[in-house]
Structure 1
Amino acid sequence: MLTFMGLILRENDRGETSKSITVLTAERGVIDIFVRGGRKSTKNASSTQLFAYSKLCVEEKKNSKDQSMFFLNSSESEKLFYNIRLDPKKTALASYFSELLMYIRTEESGCDEIMRLTLNTLYFLDKGDRDNELLKSIFEFRLLCEAGLRPALLGCSVCMAYEADIMHFNLSTGVLECDKCCYNPDSIYDIELDRTMLYIVRFIALTEYERLFAFKISERYQKKLTAFTERFVRYNLKGKFPSLDFYRLL
């Protein structure tokens, strides 16, 4: 029997009475857990609902292909992020975060930082004292950084200049070039960053978690940051995320 903490990212019906849940864990990454009678029984109802952060006791079995299958034995909720469910826009945004996590679907150990990022983001979304768009941008960019897609942001890849009035970030190569060294500023993959935007992008990618959510930016720079992080996600993941479209409609 295995016991770990998990965040419920999705619920799926299985048959007439059961369901499966997709769960983010620090120990195993994103996994699916079968919940017998989960649609009818109230025993594990609150602890296995969407966005619940719960202590899960599961049985691991191997199928004919030697793949792990998990079956819930018992569960206990730790945090339900109740206020997110009261706001359709927050629910849509949290669902978008879940879609990103499931698309990346890291199935390995060492997901502590991704778990920490996700819980911190949901905490501030639930609390309601941070701008939703800023939370979205932080989560998008830092998640991909933690998933192994952190770009080279320490300086110009040619002359090693730390900053300039205009720096160019190339989505294709993942590197910075200063305005003087930029080989192809007209590339479809090029994003211009002024000094402030470069600082913001570096801060999100590199700062420690104790400081990650402790900043604010102007509406002007939030629009630039939203455009940057969404382009970064689209280029690297190339997926479709219905919850993001729904969030934009609200």
Structure 2
Amino acid sequence: MQTLKCLILKERNVGEINKSISVLTAEKGVIDILVRGGQKSVKNSASTQLFTYSSLCVDEKRNSGGQIQYFLNSSELIRSFYNIRLDIKKTALASYFSELLLYSRTEQSGYHDVLRLTLNTLYFLDNSKMDIDLLKCVFELRLPCEIGLRPDLVGCANCYKYEDDRMHFDYISNKLYCDDCYCSDDNSSDTIVDKTLLYIIRFIALSEFEKLFYFKISDRYLKKLTAFTESFVAYIFKNRFTSLDYYKNI
């Protein structure tokens, strides 16, 4: 038996009385936990709801195929992020964050920064302390960075020029190029970034957590940043996220 601090990303019913929850943990990445009687019992209901952060005591067993399965023994609520569930747009955005985490799921250690990023993001979403469209961009760009897919933004991948009035980011190679060095027959994976947009992208990708959520940008650059981060996610994960479509249509 072990105790894990978990963020609940998804709930689904299993049979007539049980439910399964997908959770994000610092120690094991994303795992599934079976909650016996979870559909009807109120014992663990508050601490196993969507978007709650809880301390879960779990039993670990191996099935006949050698796979590890987790079963909830007891739980204690740490934080509920209750205000998110009161706003349909915030709920849709949090669902998008969960979908990104579930799609990129990895059962491994070393997810402390991913959990910290997600909890910080939900905190600002819950407390309305940041423009939620900007918050979305921050999470879209920083999550891949924390799971080993950080873009190469130090300078031009060819000549190492740090910045220029006009530079190119290639989504396929995940690299930055200056105007002189960029050469491609197919421009579909290329986006042009100016100095200001490049500074914003570098700030999100490279800054410390203590600074990450404390900045503002103009509406003009928010539109540019949104186009960049949505394209970045699409190329990195090679998937269309239905929760993003729903969020944008609200």
Deviation for aligned residue 1:185: 8.0
Contact 1:52 1:80 in 2 (8 A): yes
Regions of 4+ moved over 4 Å: none
Distance 2:2 2:105 in 1: 20
Deviation for aligned residue 1:31: 0.3
In the alignment, which residue of structure 2 is the partner of 1:75? 75
In the alignment, which residue of structure 2 is the partner of 1:130? 130
Deviation for aligned residue 1:120: 0.2
In the alignment, which residue of structure 2 is the partner of 1:40? 40
Segments of 5+ residues of structure 2 without an aligned counterpart are none
Segments of 5+ residues of structure 1 without an aligned counterpart are none
Amino acid at match of 2:127: K
Distance 1:47 1:242 in 2: 27
Distance 1:156 1:249 in 2: 37
Contact 1:20 1:35 in 2 (8 A): yes
Amino acid at match of 1:181: C
Distance 2:172 2:104 in 1: 19
Give the SS at the match of 1:182.
Answer: coil
Distance 2:213 2:35 in 1: 35
In the superposition, the TM-score normalised over structure 1's length comes to 0.98
Deviation for aligned residue 1:186: 5.8
In the superposition, the TM-score normalised over structure 2's length comes to 0.98
Give the SS at the match of 2:138.
Answer: helix
**Does 1:222 find its partner at 2:222?**
yes
In the alignment, which residue of structure 2 is the partner of 1:189? 189
Residues 185, 168 of structure 1: alpha-carbon distance in 2 compared, 3 angstrom cutoff: farther
In the alignment, which residue of structure 2 is the partner of 1:25? 25
Distance 2:110 2:244 in 1: 27
Distance 1:208 1:235 in 2: 25
Matches within 5 A, 1:41-60: 41-60=41-60
In the alignment, which residue of structure 1 is the partner of 2:168? 168
In the alignment, which residue of structure 2 is the partner of 1:86? 86
Distance 1:74 1:240 in 2: 36
1:22-73 Cα deviation digits (max 9, x unpaired): 0000000000000000111110000000000000000000011211100000
